[in-house]
Amino acid sequence: MTGARPRLLAWLVALATCLGACAPAVGVNEAPAGQTVPASPAQPAPASPAQPSATGIALAPQGTTAPVPTATPTPAPPPPAPAPPPVPQPYAFNLYQEGDFVPQYTFDWCVAASIQMAHNLVDDTGGGTWADSAQQGELWEMARARSSNSFNGANPLGWAQVLTEVGIGPYKVVSIADYGSALQTAARAIADTGRPVGLVMWSGRHAWVMSGFESIGDPAQFPEFSVTGVHVQDPLYPHGSGQWGPSPEPNSLLTPEQLATQFVVREPRRWSSELPAGYLLVLPVAGA
């Protein structure tokens, strides 16, 4: 009996081996013949980073939004360069026309003759030239009556008042300490009003008329324009003065240096007033 057991075990093993070799192989997911393998539930694919496409451009992962590129602002153009300031140019203004000059008929009537010339310089209506000697005498008496402390003559205050009363004004008397400022003031007044300026000459002893000027710069544009020439009318022409020099011809253009030999600071002792010592102007007032 002991020898029969091993032989029986060997036979069973051989039989099992034979039966396993004859059975068809069935896969893990395959059902045996005649049976249906139930479908396995779908498994979600694991998320993976964006894969490069065929064109080499990385694709954004599903469920994300591609960033929108931000536009770079265009810088504003620089402001235009400021225009250069205007440069003063030569400028000229003169009221004088032929026939405007009137001589003084006596050595005392310089103020009256200056009033007649002022009328002629501004009157473009064809109303006639003021040049009559009798009229000059009347104007002299008017100016003298409106003057005080004038050595029985006419002073600048009477001169300015008569100019205003006869319709050429209004005028006022000013005293300016600085010579250059006095010329600028006179030139600007002529340009602004279109009327002449009275110059008190010889330290307050004589009267001239300034009818125009030349300058570097238009007074209306350049406050610091410089006067280079002055047009003058001396009613004493052609006599002049042994002390102060000859009278310039009518409508002469004098340089400031030439004018300064006779246009000097008024001596306060010549006639009393509240005006300080300086260069005296019988000045037209704008807006009349």
Q: What residue ranges define each of the domains in the chain, with the CATH number in brackets?
A: 90-284 (3.90.70)
* Residue of 29 and 247 predicted with greater confidence: 247
Structural contact between residues 212 and 237, judged by C-beta atoms closer than 8 angstroms: no
Beta bridge pairs of residue 209? 198, 233
Over 70: is that where the pLDDT of 260 sits?
yes
pTM of the model: 0.71
Q: Quick one: what percent of the chain has pLDDT higher than 90?
A: 60
Over 50: is that where the pLDDT of 54 sits?
no
Name which of 99, 128, 98, 280 is nearest 206 in CA terms.
Answer: 280
pLDDT at 61: 53
pLDDT tens track for 192-230: 999 999 999 999 999 999 999 999 999 999 999 999 999
- Positive/negative CA dihedral, 177, 179, 180, 186: positive
Map residue 283 onto helix, strand or coil: strand
What is the rounded average pLDDT of the residues 12-24? Answer: 42
pLDDT tens track for 87-140: 999 999 999 999 999 999 999 999 999 999 999 999 977 668 999 999 999 999
Per-residue DSSP letter, 52 = B
Over 80: is that where the pLDDT of 145 sits?
yes
